[in-house]
């Protein structure tokens, strides 16, 4: 327990509103955690997996209508509409509080309210922050126990007067006396994921799914933290963090922003194909970055576990993730095998002859439907990853040498390009586009702008967020990381993916590191700096010269179409758009016009050693 009066008052006022049958404080002990898992099994929410296949692991099936983030039901309740901006759903905070008070009134009847004190970031780190989530979902308790640091040690760090983020969650299904519960309670008619930036509060109702219910993750660590970062002079970003050691022993740290299901976890746990390189993981999803005493931007992973997309994860794509998931994990909306294990598309080259699919139905390879939901998830402790870097919990964070942006683009964007400056890099991040995946609402394959991969996660006006990036660059000056833009997904005109990806992405990272060390010159193009084809290590690849040329070439006509699309996108932000980004767009168009041709071979362009 605690003597922190603000926390005690928060718990009591929420208890009085929601009226649970009892209140349980999560202490972080192994015994209590095991009890929570067993309660999920007893309620029919989860099933134990075969202990010989997956020791101490569970499989959960959600309600079929509660399987992903609900972006259209996610609200930023800032005092002023313009502070939320055109990319967020805004709601008047006073009106939303009335709505929420009505929904939460008695919403936990017949259930237990759990008090989860959690820390995002290593305990004791100057970059870490503490939150408290009140929830009636054992699934949330179990998942938060894996993905954050919870319990008595967090309360001790909070002390009697420490500040904390307030998070309240309910599945929105009170149990009347004598009524029978369902395996996955939720309220599909009334889903609200609401954020109050000024008061650092999160209220989530109706969904039990991770992104809507694990409030320490996207809600606190990105939407609310991005506002805190703006106000306090740091950065809260949707980025992986990775450590790379060259064959010569040179250590580099990179952060990378990719939209969900675009390869973040695979890159964070990359198994390099080039001999001598070593890759270690710091984090796979979120980076909090502050300036250190040396003036460099230092990053921590605020999470303690991985909540990743399962489909597509296999021995070929991510053997380190496969190893991480062998025990102590929770799987959601996967298929299950006849011998009590889990399976999803991409786990093995050939599927089993028989499965029970994510909806509990018999499945065979010829039945014509996926066995696992496309957004099926795994929740697993980061400490189990065989390539976690020793410094992944260093309170001081790690110094970032390079920041990567990237999305899923079949055309236009080259394999890798370097920004000319921090300002130009901010511009490149602001115009990021990616083909939609199953992790978000919308038509799969449709292109949408996703600046810095923060479109669903920025807690305030995106134009102000870009201005904050520019301000950080001015503050950091020459100490700021170099910025690069990558695209693993480019296709040939006949639809072939050109780059092998996965472990071979180390070849691109190698060039990036050499650029950071000023070891190689680059080719200046209208959009940025790209490699000389001979400087990209392609030894041993089955990659033709024509394919390499297409991966690196800048097709001006395609980019001029991109300019038109970006100009229309920028208009949404009106006068809040930073002048610097408008100027970058104008400069890009001018360079493209001067260089206009159906194709431009990078070997014919001017080489430069500067950025």
Sequence-distant (6+) residues with CB within 8 A of 435 are: 407, 408, 409, 410, 444, 445, 446, 447, 489
CA distance 51 to 119: 30
Tokens encoding 449: 């702008």
CA distance 379 to 601: 45
CA distance 68 to 404: 26
Give the dihedral of Cα atoms 466, 471, 475, 479; nearest 10 deg. Answer: 20
CA distance 39 to 142: 10
Burial 318-351 (b: 16+ CB within 10 A, else e): bbbbeebbebbbbbbbbbbbeeebbbbbbbeeeb
Beta strands at 112-120 and 129-135: parallel, antiparallel or unpaired? antiparallel
Q: Which CA distances in Å does 434 have to 26, 84, 145? A: 39, 22, 32
Task: Name residue 497's beta-bridge partners.
Answer: 491
User: Reduced to 3 states, what is the DSSP secondary structure of residue 513?
Assistant: helix
Other C-beta atoms lying within 10 Å of the C-beta of residue 568: 10
DSSP string, 301-317: ---SEEEEE-TT-STTT
CB 128, CB 364: distance < 8 Å: no
Choosing from 77, 262, 458, 516, the catalytic residue is: 262
Q: Where are the beta strands (DSSP E) in 28-124?
A: 46-48, 58-60, 74-76, 89-90, 112-120
Give the dihedral of Cα atoms 449, 451, 453, 459; nearest 10 deg. Answer: -110
The sheet with strand 398-399 has its strands ordered as 235-237, 287-291, 297-300, 398-399
CB 267, CB 242: distance < 8 Å: yes
- Give yes or no: 334 in active site: no
What secondary structure letter does DSSP report for 224?
I
Other C-beta atoms lying within 10 Å of the C-beta of residue 566: 21
Sequence-distant (6+) residues with CB within 8 A of 367 are: none
Which of 317, 240, 320 lies closest to 284, judged by CA? 240
3-state helix, strand, coil in the chain (%, to 5): 30, 20, 45
CB 504, CB 392: distance < 8 Å: no
Residues serving a catalytic function are: 262
């Amino acid at each position: 327990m605690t003597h922190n009066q603000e926390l005690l008052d928060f718990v009591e006022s929420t208890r009085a509103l929601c009226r649970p049958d009892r209140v349980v404080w999560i202490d972080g002990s192994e015994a209590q955690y095991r009890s929570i898992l067993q309660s999920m099994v007893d309620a029919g929410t989860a099933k134990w997996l075969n202990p010989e296949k997956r020791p101490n692991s569970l499989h959960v099936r959600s309600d079929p209508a509660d399987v992903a983030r609900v972006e259209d039901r996610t609200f930023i309740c800032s005092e002023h509409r313009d502070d939320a901006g055109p990319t967020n759903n805004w709601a008047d905070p006073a009106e939303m509080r009335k709505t929420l008070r009505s929904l939460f009134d008695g919403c936990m009847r017949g259930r237990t309210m759990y008090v989860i004190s959690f820390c995002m970031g290593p305990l004791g780190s100057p970059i870490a922050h503490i939150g408290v989530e009140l929830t009636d979902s054992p699934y949330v308790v179990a998942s938060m126990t894996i993905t954050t640091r919870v319990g008595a040690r967090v309360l001790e760090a909070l002390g009697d007067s420490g500040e904390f983020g307030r998070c309240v969650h309910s599945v929105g299904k009170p149990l009347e006396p004598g009524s029978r519960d369902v395996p996955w309670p939720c309220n599909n008619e009334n889903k609200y994921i609401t954020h109050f930036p000024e008061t650092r509060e999160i209220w989530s109702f109706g969904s039990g799914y991770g992104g809507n219910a694990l409030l320490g993750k996207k809600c606190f660590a990105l939407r609310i933290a991005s506002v805190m970062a703006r106000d306090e002079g740091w950065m809260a970003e949707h980025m992986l963090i990775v450590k790379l050691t060259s064959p010569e022993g040179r250590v580099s740290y990179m952060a990378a922003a990719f939209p969900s299901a675009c390869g973040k976890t695979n890159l964070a746990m990359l198994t390099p194909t080039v001999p001598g390189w070593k890759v270690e993981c710091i984090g796979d999803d979120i980076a909090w970055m502050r300036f250190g005493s040396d003036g460099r931007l230092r990053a921590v992973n605020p999470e303690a576990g991985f909540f990743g997309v399962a489909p597509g994860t296999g021995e070929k794509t991510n053997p380190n993730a496969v190893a991480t998931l062998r025990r102590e994990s929770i799987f959601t909306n996967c298929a299950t095998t006849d011998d009590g294990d889990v399976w999803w598309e991409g786990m093995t080259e050939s599927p089993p002859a028989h499965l029970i699919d994510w909806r509990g139905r018999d499945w065979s390879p010829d039945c014509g439907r996926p066995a696992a939901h496309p957004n099926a998830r795994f929740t697993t402790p980061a400490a189990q990853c065989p390539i976690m870097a020793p410094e992944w919990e260093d309170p001081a964070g790690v110094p970032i040498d390079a920041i990567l942006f990237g999305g899923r683009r079949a055309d236009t964007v080259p394999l890798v390009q370097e920004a000319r400056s921090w300002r130009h890099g901010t511009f490149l991040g602001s115009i990021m586009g990616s083909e939609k995946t199953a992790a978000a609402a919308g038509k799969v394959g449709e292109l949408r702008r996703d600046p810095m991969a923060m479109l669903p996660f920025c807690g305030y006006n995106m134009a102000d967020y870009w201005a904050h990036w520019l301000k950080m660059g001015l503050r950091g000056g020459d100490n700021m990381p170099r910025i690069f833009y990558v695209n693993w997904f480019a296709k040939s005109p006949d639809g072939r993916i050109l780059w092998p990806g996965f472990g071979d992405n180390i070849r691109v990272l190698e060039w990036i590191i050499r650029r950071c060390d000023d070891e190689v010159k680059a080719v200046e193009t209208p959009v940025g700096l790209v490699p000389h084809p001979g400087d990209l290590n392609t030894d041993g690849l089955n990659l033709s010269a024509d394919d390499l040329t297409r991966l690196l070439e800048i097709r001006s006509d395609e980019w001029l179409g991109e300019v038109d699309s970006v100009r229309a996108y920028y208009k949404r932000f009106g006068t809040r758009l930073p002048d610097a980004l408008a100027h970058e767009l104008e400069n890009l168009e001018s360079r493209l016009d001067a260089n206009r041709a159906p194709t431009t071979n990078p070997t014919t362009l001017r080489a430069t050693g500067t950025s």
